[in-house]
Amino acid sequence: MTRADTAMPRILVCFGTRPEAIKMFPVVHALKAHGGMDVRVAVTAQHREILDQVLEIGGIVPDIDLDLMRPDQSLDELSSRILTSFGTALDEWTPARMLVHGDTLTTMMVTLGSYFRKIPVGHVEAGLRSGNIYSPWPEEVNRKVTGAVSDLHFAPTEGAAEALRAENVPASAIHVTGNTVIDALFATRDKVAANPALAAGLDDVQQRFAGKRIIALTAHRRENFGEGMSNIAAAISELAQRDDVAVIFPVHPNPNVRPVMEAALGGRDNVALIEPLDYPHFVRLMEMADLLLTDSGGVQEEGPSFGKPVLVMRDTTERPEGITAGTARLVGTDRDLIVSEAARLLDDRHAYDAMARAHNPYGDGKAANRIAEAVAAAHHVHRQS
């Protein structure tokens, strides 16, 4: 089917990883609810199994599935495969607009493929900058390249919008929307509340750690592979010596993560190394936790919605609003700093409450609707009743 087969502008939404899927399923639904647009979804499956989990909970069936996941593929290999495979799909589907998200390799290569065909690109979660092209790596450059090509920039915060203006992006092209992860979080929380069976897989570990302060841990960032990951493991091992603490860690399957963590933390009574969680279970884990330790971007945004302090195990963050607001604190991969900051929050109620009660700067759960309105306006589409 080509664009000529429909009078409505075709909007092709593309993503490839689990975090992208979480943040884009509300956008897909908002675009379809708006009406007047032929909304299609393409996935590269840069992640596969963990992507499929989000597609299911988000109620998304892709129209195009490139299924590009391969074990241990290099960035070069994956980049070339995305560009050529998605280019073929673009030639067949000829959308009026592409929508991409964030900072993944899928995002950058899909954007380049669209640019080569003069297809306009809307960038969801635009304008995040750390100022260091090697941290987060390669995400900082992925995002900057995408921003250089896009003509619609959906900035999650005013700070992100200001970064775009500093790069001479026209003000008319920038829309401050909030972050769609809050939309996804609220929608999923409501689903779990209505149907607790969706997240019942954590019942056993919650019972096992009843009465303990729960630290929820995620660690998978590429720039932390090697010494950084070993330092994180050592810090968690030290924290796990406390009798009042339990650690729940959905371990990323990457071979640069799992063996390191299993060697340092396996067999400890108060550490649960569990398989990666689908999104409903992860939302429940954040609700259960007292403290979140992460090198993820999304958790920095999600945690404050539950009033959970976030310690960010990175040297820089492209999400400084959380640091400024006091909901998050950078601790890098310094073993001593991770341990001391976590212990301070566990032992000092005033310090804990100061972070837990800080204002969440990332949105109100209505970002996807704002994005849908802006896309429709760009294509002169009126809301359908």
Q: Active-site residues: which are they? A: 103, 125, 139, 220, 222, 252
Distance CA 380, CA 377 (A): 5
Q: E strands along 88-207, which residues?
A: 97-101, 121-124, 152-155, 174-176
**DSSP per-residue string spanning 272-321:** EEEPPPPHHHHHHHHHH-SEEEES-SHHHHHGGGGT--EEE-SS--S-HH
Query: Token pair for residue 160?
Result: 């992100």
Contact at 8 Å (CB) between 71 and 100? no
10 Å CB burial of residue 325 (0-12, 13-18, 19+) is middle
**Which residue intervals of 195-278 are DSSP H helices?**
203-208, 227-239, 258-265
Distance CA 114, CA 95 (A): 9
Query: Token pair for residue 297?
Result: 């971007």
Closest CA to 11 of 29, 32, 38, 35: 38
Tell me if the bond preceding 120 is cis, omega within 30° of 0.
no
Measured distance between the N- and C-terminal CA atoms of the chain, rounded to whole angstroms = 26
